[in-house]
Amino acid sequence: MLLTLDLGHLREYLTAVSGGFIPAMRIAKEWAALMQAAMIMFATVYRFYTNEARMVPYNLKNPRWTLFFGWFSFVASSALFCVIVWLLLADLPDSSEIAVPSVRYDVNALWYLVLFWVGYPAVTILARMAHSNVPRDEYSASWSVFKDVAFALLDVLSKGGLALFFVLKLTYVSAADEAELLARANVTHV
């Protein structure tokens, strides 16, 4: 949820420094963060409660219900993920249309950091496909390690990448320059 809020803050900043040239998010970043909480809840049901919708008989008395519940949770989680990505990137102009280099870098960073997230559902789908012929009470150690390493790498790229971006931004944009950008944005577009 915090990453969604931070990326929402970046989007709000871009709207402010561009004087509205970069439009605001369609809904508040706080709603997007709440959607992410719901997305994580559905993904948890899919992954842990229904064992990736693999019809484990001990989960419920009716294994078909477990399968339905698992896939419903996966689809709901994926739909929320798509909405969050769309909210963060909707109407974001191409960075080549922006004259100020630091704002151009910010737009590119927002694109890259949000698109790293696509790796999470991709890894989930790959692992599920790899287990399609595995008995439902077994799990491949190789795929388990692959998922752990892939998710760790994605965490570093998305969360660590955001932190690194803001630390590096301090090297090329001073507080005075940023204040000037915000003051100028109130008069004209970037």
Extents of the domains making up the chain? 2-185
Structure confidence at residue 55 (pLDDT): 64
Task: Decide: 80 and 43 in contact? Cβ < 8 Å.
Answer: no
- Taking each continuous run of H as one helix and of E as one strand, the counts in the chain are 8, 0
Rounded to a whole number, what is the largest CA-CA distance in the chain? Answer: 65
Q: Which two tokens stand for residue 1?
A: 């949820």
Q: Which two tokens stand for residue 4?
A: 């969604």
**Concatenated DSSP letters for 96-121?**
GG--SHHHHHHHHHHHHHHHHTTHHH
Indicate the SS3 state at residue 79.
Answer: helix
Of 168, 10, 190, nearest to 100 (Cα)?
Answer: 190
Indicate the SS3 state at residue 134.
Answer: coil
Q: Residue 169, Cα to own-chain centre: how many angstroms?
A: 21
What stretches in the chain show pLDDT beneath 50? 189-190
pTM (two decimals):
0.81
Per-residue pLDDT tens over the stretch 112-133: 998 888 898 899 888 888 877 7
Structure confidence at residue 69 (pLDDT): 86
CA dist., res. 103 & res. 14, Å (int): 7
Structure confidence at residue 179 (pLDDT): 80
CA dist., res. 76 & res. 156, Å (int): 25
